[in-house]
Structure 1
């Protein structure tokens, strides 16, 4: 089935031997890069270009032209290759344009070897860019997909290669320019290649056949006969022509491959699951971005067609006007329906993957309601990441993606205990947050006391998870509670002994705790710089520390705030982490003094709120905290097992 893609949209491929057919408004150079799961290149050997047109499984044209064919055999690629990016660049000295925007928009089509189009993409919106990543074929759960990218680079080919992590980007770009300028594609075409044709039209001189995956020798024997004009093209390697003909392939199934937990790159199952979760996040972001882009395009096209049809006042009334309006609206509805169908297809696959991945997550990544916590054992080493909550988008309310952060924490956390932003903030994200909260918690938005209680519950859940996923005795929690109002919420930590000292109360308690932690940071920093860890005073606890600050700014003077900022900036590098439970509005009196602290911390909310924006595609994600189920004793049981293991750990 042919798919016409928009930027960011993907489409599954039902075969592994394909051609990338390119047409442009002027001469362009075509190339391919072979990246790992992060899109990074291992070296210049991972680039197929006019100076080196053949890599295993890839063949590209040798010259700049307005039409190209790139041959790709995905089965022949190394297992380390996860992304095949198709590049286009304007080469100097070939009469090329100053930018892609000066000519017709380039178009890329992914086809089968028989010419059947699988997906197409017209790269619009380009201007002064002289290089562009057109599309990429990427591996996902053992299957391949094509994604419309359209990422342009005004600084040319070198900038594009540098963005993919190639250290020799400038040198390789110069080599490619030289290869194109020397006209290496002017070599005499072989009789076999000249005899290949599709239909009545002769294939272009630079049409490429797939490179053989097992042998570099692709020259045809002298006795190889060219196929008859208009007949099918035999892409089998000439040295295999005596082999038994393969059985007819079964008709491709439209069903996506069955998802598998841990189906991502990584050295361990934990790392593979971590990367798989973030792959799900990226796929959801891309799919929703493509859907929103398609909806915007449909709206824009509807407006343009209505304006064009009704531009003449004489045509605004009568049957012709009604027909024009109906036709435009039908086209708009068809585009929206097509976009939603593509989104629903992607969401169904992600939902199936989520059902497989969630039960396989280790405790650090799992929900508190997951069965893995019932068989909890104190770990022997800390995990690579931690689940802070769930993320979702308004287009799909029932699909939650775990929000994972790396450990050790590079940033502290700020849990907003004030009136939720959705309760008074404008905008569609805030409206969504209010509806979600009303259905999840109460019949309406919670009051201020409820939000404060939930904020402290969220802090306790985060602290309990951090304690539980670290080896016994290697992580400690301290609490500053100037007003003494957090005792009941801290009960799971106090009753199990996870909180070694009672919360520090009053201004004097705040000062003592901050002074002790500041001293610890200073001494550990000096010990690290001088490689003298054994010389630390015996009263310095080298375990990682989490400081929970409740009811800020009550009990804090200017000096205490300065120390707090110091801990937020310098503490994470030496194992001191900050968790603020505070109302941003109440802390406004500190003004510029507080702003750097606010910006340095990761803000999370105790109730669902669409406030987290990713810089990748700009979505406003709705964040939900990870809390234990109502009435569950999972926190106390896990912390109790940790307390039992602590004495044994010390001996």
Structure 2
């Protein structure tokens, strides 16, 4: 299973011969440094770059390109090398190094905040993805350490870094202790400017069989190590091969190709969903809205899934014939996949990408129209002869007319695309299975405990200001690869104006219960266990449905002693499973060991937590998901401010959600700020009680 990393997370490497695949929306320079245990590099001969692309165990690209493949052989690394840092840089505007060497005088972007978010995947030689990382959160930086491969106790791991440098490569190399930092930075940019090199081969063309909508994941937000709409992440939806491919927003329906976009060269249209897209593997947030893993360039997504049959997928349902001059009527499940669940999952994320791109095209067109009108008006005002009189008035009217024409064209295209997506949503929403459906969907009235775990779970809805009525389901892949944080602070509302802290805490806990109930409902009987820590008992009312139906493993733990007991038990479980897996003996676990997925809900953190408990909680957040132990925090970050930066990695490792609408999630293509709304049970509905009663009955039979 691919690990979708967020900043600071690590993942073990089971192979030593690797490829590092990099996708960006603009040409960038890729390189790598070989460092010691402290990450310091001791000479220019330990830096692989376009001017010197080959080192022992390492080869990088010889030129700036939008896509790179770096070859790594960790067994061939010198014994003195403990860290391999992969760096990315913009080939122009790289601080003083570029200017002093005559490089960087072109017209390209000078900071990562102005280009599409880079995506990095560590793969085996067969293209199988091991770990992926979307570098959200970059703004003024022109160079960045994307990730590092490092030795730890004789084994290699990969860690997502995302450390950016506004002063470019010179600052990056200086930070790694290289004495010749400025000289080397200039040499690299000069080598790129002179075109020293071969081009990186493009990924193979996609066949008709590959032209399926897939999914992408949201980007991380500022509070979780990513840019505000990380997403989304970061919000929601799934992950990139290159999520950017060659397609990008331009002026929709515009008469000329004048406007350009940092995201690509092809104006996105809703009907065209053939560009490479990301597949979602977990949750992310802008904090990271969606979490996904990138398929290999040009290849198909690996739909491996527990207990999933490997039979060839049946063809998707055929759309009814279109009326002359009209688009084909939408059909639920028209994406490809091994099952209807996968088809619907891919279709939902295709809708998410379509809405992101068509909105980006509209905004790009409006921005272009505004800048064009400004430029034309400036020209009029700069000439004293045309400032007054009929000539000046005519010029102003002409500029305003052109502006209105461009904006109207963009609006018409956006309206058309939103209408088509709305029609598709109206067909898809009623067809969704329980794992993807809202709580008010009639599918819950016929609910039965499933025999198989679904591939994804709905955590809420996403929408944009231009299409407030069109809701896209926010789906995350299962099993969860990140914990969840339900933000009960006042900053968790859209404008921070939700001032009743008591109501907000109550809503946060109700949101957590709804998510936990859905997780229980979509797993087979006995394959998902929920524990609760509620030190002060403040969540008793919200927890009542879980407690009264008997679906919890034990009553909610209260007091400091209860906190310590539950954390000790779960950390011991993580240790046991890790030892069994690392020792190659997964069947050696103690008799009666509960092998189901575990969820720990923590309310009122850090109340009842001492320093030891805090460290255990961080350990569960970091190491638990890989061995089936997941964390759901209901907390106000401000209440834990006394711990200082000690807890920053904890918050960043969790997918931040809110109990009320909030625009903290971003998509991985253009970084829109998506408004997230949680999936809550309608007031007065008994559906939650009915579903949990079914789950409890199935658990009783299973035992």
Common fold: TM-score over 0.5: yes
Provide Cα deviations, 1:164-191, integer angstroms capped at 9, x if missing partner. Answer: 7269xxxxxxxxxxxxxxxxxxxxxxxx
8 Å Cα contact 2:254-2:410 kept in structure 1:
no
Gaps of 5+ in 2: 1-24, 27-120, 122-204, 214-247, 278-293, 300-320
TM-score by length of 2: 0.57
* RMSD, aligned α-carbons: 3.4
Could you tell me how far apart the structure 1 residues matched to 2:655 and 2:212 are?
32
The reply to whether residue 279 of structure 1 matches residue 315 of structure 2 is: no
For residues 161-560 of structure 1, what are the structure 2 equivalents within 5 Å?
165=297, 253-422=324-493, 445=498, 447-538=500-591, 540-560=593-613
1:342 Cα deviation from its structure 2 partner: 0.3
Provide Cα deviations, 1:551-572, integer angstroms capped at 9, x if missing partner. Answer: 0011111111110010001101
Provide Cα deviations, 1:410-430, integer angstroms capped at 9, x if missing partner. Answer: 0000110011345666xxxxx
SS at match of 2:332: coil
Could you tell me how far apart the structure 2 residues matched to 1:144 and 1:642 are?
41
Q: Could you tell me which of 635, 651, 654 is aligned with 1:598?
A: 651
Question: Number of residue pairs matched?
Answer: 429
Could you tell me how far apart the structure 2 residues matched to 1:314 and 1:147 are?
51
Could you tell me how far apart the structure 1 residues matched to 2:583 and 2:296 are?
37
Could you tell me how far apart the structure 1 residues matched to 2:417 and 2:624 are?
42
1:612 Cα deviation from its structure 2 partner: 0.7
Could you tell me how far apart the structure 1 residues matched to 2:276 and 2:358 are?
11
Q: Give the corresponding residue for 1:647.
A: 700
Q: Give the corresponding residue for 2:665.
A: 612
SS at match of 2:537: coil
Q: Give the corresponding residue for 1:199.
A: none
SS at match of 2:469: strand
Compared with structure 1, are the counterparts of its residues 599 and 639 closer, same or farther at alpha carbon in structure 2 (3 Å cutoff)? same
1:539 Cα deviation from its structure 2 partner: 5.5
Compared with structure 1, are the counterparts of its residues 516 and 123 closer, same or farther at alpha carbon in structure 2 (3 Å cutoff)? farther
8 Å Cα contact 1:121-1:148 kept in structure 2:
no
With CA pairs under 8 Å and 6+ residues apart, which has the higher RCO, 1 or 2?
2
SS at match of 1:622: strand
Compared with structure 1, are the counterparts of its residues 311 and 422 closer, same or farther at alpha carbon in structure 2 (3 Å cutoff)? farther
8 Å Cα contact 2:268-2:354 kept in structure 1:
no
Compared with structure 1, are the counterparts of its residues 297 and 275 closer, same or farther at alpha carbon in structure 2 (3 Å cutoff)? same
Compared with structure 1, are the counterparts of its residues 525 and 146 closer, same or farther at alpha carbon in structure 2 (3 Å cutoff)? closer
Provide Cα deviations, 1:105-145, integer angstroms capped at 9, x if missing partner. Answer: xxx9xxxxxxxxx9977376599xxxx9754999x8xx657
The structure with more radius of gyration: 1
SS at match of 1:483: coil
TM-score by length of 1: 0.61
Gaps of 5+ in 1: 1-6, 9-39, 41-73, 84-107, 109-117, 150-161, 168-249, 426-433, 435-444
For residues 147-162 of structure 1, what are the structure 2 equivalents within 5 Å?
none
Q: Give the corresponding residue for 1:112.
A: none
Q: Give the corresponding residue for 2:257.
A: 122
8 Å Cα contact 2:464-2:674 kept in structure 1:
yes
1:530 Cα deviation from its structure 2 partner: 2.6
Compared with structure 1, are the counterparts of its residues 300 and 289 closer, same or farther at alpha carbon in structure 2 (3 Å cutoff)? same
Compared with structure 1, are the counterparts of its residues 281 and 480 closer, same or farther at alpha carbon in structure 2 (3 Å cutoff)? same
